[in-house]
Amino acid sequence: MNGATAVLESLGRAGVRVCFANPGTSELHLVAALDRTPHLRAVLCLFEGVAAGAADGYARMTGIPAVTLLHQGPGLAYGLANLHNAMRAASPVVNLIGDGASTHRGLGAPLESDVAALAGPVSRWVRTARNPEGAGADAVAAVAAATGPPGAVATLVVPADVAWSPGGRAARALPEEPAAPAPVGTVNAGRDSTILLGGPTLRARGLTAADRIARATGASLLAEAFPGRIERGVDVPPIERLSGNPVDARQRLAGCRHLVLAGAATPVMAFAEPGTAGELTPPGCTVERLDGDTTAALEELANRVAPHLRARPYKPPATPNEPVNRPLTAEGVAQVVAALLPQWAIVVDEANTSIVALPDGTARHDLLTNSGFAIGLGMPLAAGAALACPDRPVVCLEADGSAMYTPSALWTHAREGLDVTTIVLNNRAYAILRRERTRLLGQPGGSALFDLSGPDLDFVALATAMGVPGSRASTTGELTAQLKQALAEPGPHLIEATVPARY
């Protein structure tokens, strides 16, 4: 068994089931081993950013790391932005890099590059396999490092000579270490307290426990502004998300004297402003952090402070009606999606300034957002989520600007026959830059560099280029009809929703 086979077999034994690959010449032995590994599905992506974002989406929906198979330094580089997003969402990802042969290093071959240096900033763990004998154990260690909790990117670099040399041994998965118990004793969840939920606490279990705590203690609940995954809809207690607008967020936190971080990071401004503090918490607010298994910590706290309060079955208002027909806006898109969203849908939201808060009454669904702010995540994330949950429809709300970083994700939607309906909210602008320029410089409008018209991007043609059926909607009626059809048919669809820019 060569080193490549040892790596892939060990990954399979450790429970890895999907590899999102954009292979190159230095990882041909890894590809050959992948093709021979049972139960490990290889999914071709035409760009590394698609592979990385898809692995993130898969991890968010399963908790299991997928593998990204990328090519030396430049291939890894194209994957880094979405690996950054995976890192921020604490998604477990095994980032497997096929590097040039270690014996070839230092010769100055065209693709020679410092893979470990590039991977460092997005990885919790980076290791270069030194020999085929240890490569299997390296792979198993990568899975353990990625899995956490919390999840993270673990980068394993396999030089070509380690991959092709004999002496490899498949390694067994490491026994799972239970997460350390969280120190819940000191949490003070009273009326001047806010619990900020993030990470895994935003599933039904954590939200139910937090709801019990809040009802018993008067503590206030908030969800982090850009959660990796949040469960919503029927039978899940609703929770307010902290605003992404720093003025609103600061106002919301103004009365908070004690902030409990349950799986969330300290809330800060995403972007600095002259003369403004970066933290969003008010002066004097104490901050306490739950570590380890934060969902279990919330349940323990709930059992202590609210032993007799049971989960409150949440019955949202009736599903909203389809809106009356009128020219499409971002709000109109949200209304149509809310009215038509199927039960157990997965919603990916990278609509940026067109960001749509689905109204109450929406079907039970998971919402995935861009925790890391590196745009170009949406359509790849949707691919990974759809592969993870083949029985659940995925609705991907995408923006025109961000769609253009990873457009070939659509090809993977088509190739794998994924049940993803992508709605591109096309406002023909980098509207977020217009908004921020107004806020920061006091100059509305701004640069020609924010204008995406001239020529207008044609997303229906883009979908056609990738083998995805496409259509265009400019009224709520058109969107309703097209979304109904897309949701009724299996496989991918794209709808270009023409909306006015808000900024």
CB closer to a copy of itself, 302 vs 367: 367
Give the β-pairing of 230-232 and 365-369: antiparallel
- The H helix count followed by the E strand count for the chain is 17, 17
Q: Closest CB to a copy of itself among 38 and 274?
A: 274
Toward a copy of itself, which CB reaches closer, 339 or 429?
429
Residue tagged 């989960």 (tokens) = 311
> Two tokens at 373?
């702010």
For residue 117, the minimal CB distance to a copy of itself (Å) is 5
Phi-psi region of 337 (alpha: psi -120 to 50; beta: other; left: phi over 0): alpha
Task: Please name the residues in contact with 485: beta carbons below 8 A apart, sequence gap of 6 or more.
Answer: 493
Q: What's the 3-state SS for 379-391?
A: HHHHHHHHHHCCC
371/185 Cα distance (integer angstroms): 29
Please report how close the Cβ of residue 269 comes to a copy of itself at its closest, in angstroms: 7
Contact between residue 7 and residue 35 where contact means Cβ atoms under 8 Å apart = no
Q: Are strands 220-223 and 66-71 parallel, antiparallel or unpaired?
A: unpaired
**Residue 13, SS3 per DSSP:** helix
| CB 56, CB 85: distance < 8 Å | yes
* Min dist. Cβ of residue 405 to a copy of itself (A): 6
Beta carbon nearer to a copy of itself, 88 or 212: 88
Nearer to a copy of itself, 58 or 411 (CB): 411
Q: How far is the CB of 273 from a copy of itself (least distance, A)?
A: 8
Q: Among the residues of 314-399, which ranges form H helices?
A: 330-340, 378-388
Closest approach of a copy of itself to the CB of residue 274, in Å? 6
What is the three-class DSSP state of 180?
coil
Per residue in 54-90, is it b (16+ CB within 10 Å) or e — as a string?
bbbbbbbbbbbbbbbbbbbbebbbbbbbbbbbbbbbb
Q: In terms of CB distance, is 241 or 437 closer to a copy of itself?
A: 437
Nearest distance from residue 64's CB to a copy of itself, in Å? 21
In this structure, are residues 132 and 2 in contact, taking their beta carbons and an 8 Å threshold? yes
Neighbours of 310 (CB within 10 A): 9
Q: Which helix (H) or strand (E) holds 215?
A: helix 204-217
Minimum distance, C-beta of residue 307 to a copy of itself, in the bound complex (Å): 36
Nearest to a copy of itself of 12, 320 (CB atom)? 12
State which residue, 278 or 500, has the beta carbon closest to a copy of itself. 278
Minimum CB separation of residue 392 from a copy of itself in Å reads 23
Structure tokens at 275: 């003369």
CB nearer to a copy of itself: pick between 208 and 498: 498
Name the residue nearer to a copy of itself (CB basis): 100 or 393.
Answer: 100
Q: Which is nearer to a copy of itself, 311 or 460 (CB)?
A: 460
Shortest distance in whole angstroms from residue 368 CB to a copy of itself? 15
Report yes or no: 86 and 35 within 8 Å, Cβ to Cβ. Answer: no
Provide the Cα torsion 119, 124, 129, 135; round to 10°. -130
Minimum distance of a copy of itself from residue 435's CB (angstroms)? 9
Q: What is the largest CA-CA distance in the chain?
A: 70
Q: How far is the CB of 356 from a copy of itself (least distance, A)?
A: 20
381 forms beta bridges with none
Residue linked to tokens 């029985």: 391
Beta strands in 327-414 (DSSP E): 345-350, 365-369, 394-399
Give the residue with the Cβ less far from a copy of itself, 57 or 79.
79
* Cβ 109 to a copy of itself shortest distance, Å: 5
- The HSE-up count of residue 429 (CA atoms within 13 Å, CB side) is 18
CA distances for 86 relative to 256, 352, 381, angstroms: 30, 18, 10
